[in-house]
Structure 1
């Protein structure tokens, strides 16, 4: 196992890479001594900018070893592709899976970065033909891409949306099947008070509906729903987070320490009930 601190003039959280894995997950690395619980997810599970992410708090509350496999901006594609991370999750007594958005899946319309799935790489010929007037060099992130395409033409975006949602269901079913159904789904429901014009596709996790979650719910052991208010909307919350000057905006849109405590409390209660 290796641990490193990545830095580009800004504060970064500890990173761990387990043997056989290319995915940078939350450090410090821990010994994989069974029984343990595993946590799969993106930036929230990773606990970016907070000292004690909710997997750490669940560990303390339950007195059971918890392995944080959260990775910044990782989506379903990055998780399923990483044999090392999947092997660790498959060895857990239970894996908590943060429900991801659907926009970060590579598909027949566009390609995404293999590890940081929120990065848009390029359109396919199919998407270029669907939106011939769009200059795709302006996009670096999938959320910006799908929001702009939807605003440009909701009708033309419909097949893209259908593709992403169908892929999301397929990949989630694949994940749950690989883990043998020993999964507790975590739905972090963002409190999005922005006008419809600013968030036409709704809050995070983007493009995911309750009907989609109901479709995969029978294959998991349970579902925990937690309303999330970003740190920037809670008085004094960002003051308890650690980030560099250029990371302030990102920090404001993520859960702060008090939200991590709330998530951990809900998860701990649910896990005790499963036992």
Structure 2
């Protein structure tokens, strides 16, 4: 999905999409995994960093997301592996070539991604926020899947499915972080803190804001597998007006579901990316001093 953002968002941002390696495959599309640029000029072992995450790491609607800001601050190249809708299993399952690039970096920043990317006993995920029913193999979006569960199940069963999903998410993160052999910085990047009270009225009351379904208890289960943990919680610059980069005038973007956006109310704003880069830089410099 990530490189498709370029098709819809061209008038707002040039994401400088490129191919890192034709051997690195996107498991959802079974095609080459296309990345957000700029493309690094060189990649010497240990002399670059890598950012793993979803659309928040990719930096939708943002000219300079935190991976680019960190490149400028640190003076070293970086690879932005942000992929719209991704969860931990997207990066860890059957992706040995990609893992080689990750482990050849000097350090990795791993975003805390959405819980709706994880499977459960009703729905199977390929590491993205899109499900396949185990009953008949038909596809369904994660929000619609949980809307069905809420509409047709009692509270006890809903809690069971939520617990299964979180458990699978935790196990996927543990597996991903175990596979990463270099220093790892786990990044919470959101408009909310991890602690929240879930309700069962509708999908939004169950999921809460990004990263959906993930609470403090769930984060605590994976923090110990990283070397550092950074929280960046902010609403600065939200909602972000969408501006045509050619005319300087307000514009609209139509997403893949036919919705028209006049402003960005979901993805981190440029101001939020600046805050994330500042928070990460402090930890990275601490890491570098210890080397």
**TM-score of the two chains, using structure 1 as the length reference:** 0.80
Select 1:71's aligned residue among 70, 76, 83: 83
| Residue of structure 1 equivalent to 2:35 | 25
- Per the alignment, residue 132 of structure 1 pairs with none
What pairs up with 1:246-261 in 2 under 5 angstroms? 246-247=254-255, 248=261, 251-261=264-274
CA RMSD of aligned residues (A): 3.0
Deviations 1:104-149 (A, max 9, x none): 123432123x47x1223x3113xx8xxxxxxx97x74213322442
Q: 1:230 to 1:204 in 2, by over 3 A?
A: farther
Using the alignment, how far apart are the partners of 2:91 and 2:61 within structure 1?
21
Instruction: For 1:141 and 1:176, locate their aligned partners in 2 and report how far apart those are by CA, in whole Å.
Output: 27
CA positional deviation for 1:9: 5.8
Distance 1:162 1:249, change over 3 A: farther
- CA shift in 2, pair 1:119/1:249, >3 Å: farther
Distance 2:177 2:141 in 1: 27
Q: Deviations over 1:185-223 (max 9, x none)?
A: 001233499x96562122221121212222222221110
What is the aligned partner in structure 2 of residue 93 from structure 1? 106
The aligned counterpart of 1:209 is 215
Which consecutive unaligned segments of at least 5 residues does structure 1 have? 129-135
- Aligned position for 1:62: 74
C-alpha change, 1:14 and 1:144, in structure 2 (3 Å) is farther
Which has a greater percent of helix?
A: 1
Relative to structure 1, is the Cα distance of residues 229 and 145 closer, same or farther in structure 2, using a 3 angstrom cutoff? farther
**1:124 corresponding residue in structure 2:** 134
Q: Which deviations, in whole Å up to 9, do the C-alpha atoms of 1:128-180 show, x marking residues without a partner?
A: 8xxxxxxx97x742133224423543322222112111111111111111112
SS, match of residue 51 in structure 2: strand
Residue pair 1:105, 1:167 contacting (<8 A) in 2 also? yes
Q: Given the superposition, is the C-alpha separation of residues 238 and 123 from structure 1 closer, same or farther in structure 2, using an over 3 Å criterion?
A: same
1:46 aligns with 2:58: yes
* Gap change, CA 1:18 and 1:219, over 3 Å in 2: same
Please state how far the C-alpha of 1:6 moved relative to its aligned partner.
Answer: 7.0
Name the counterpart of 1:245. 253
What is the SS of the residue equivalent to 1:219?
coil
- Look up the SS of the partner of 1:39 in the other structure: strand
Going from structure 1 to structure 2, the CA distance change for 1:9 and 1:253 (only over 3 Å counts) comes to closer
In the alignment, is the contact (CA less than 8 A) between 2:9 and 2:61 conserved in 1? no
Contact kept? 1:184, 1:223, Cα under 8 Å: yes
2:220 maps to 1:220: no
Deviates more, 1:5-14 or 1:45-54: 5-14
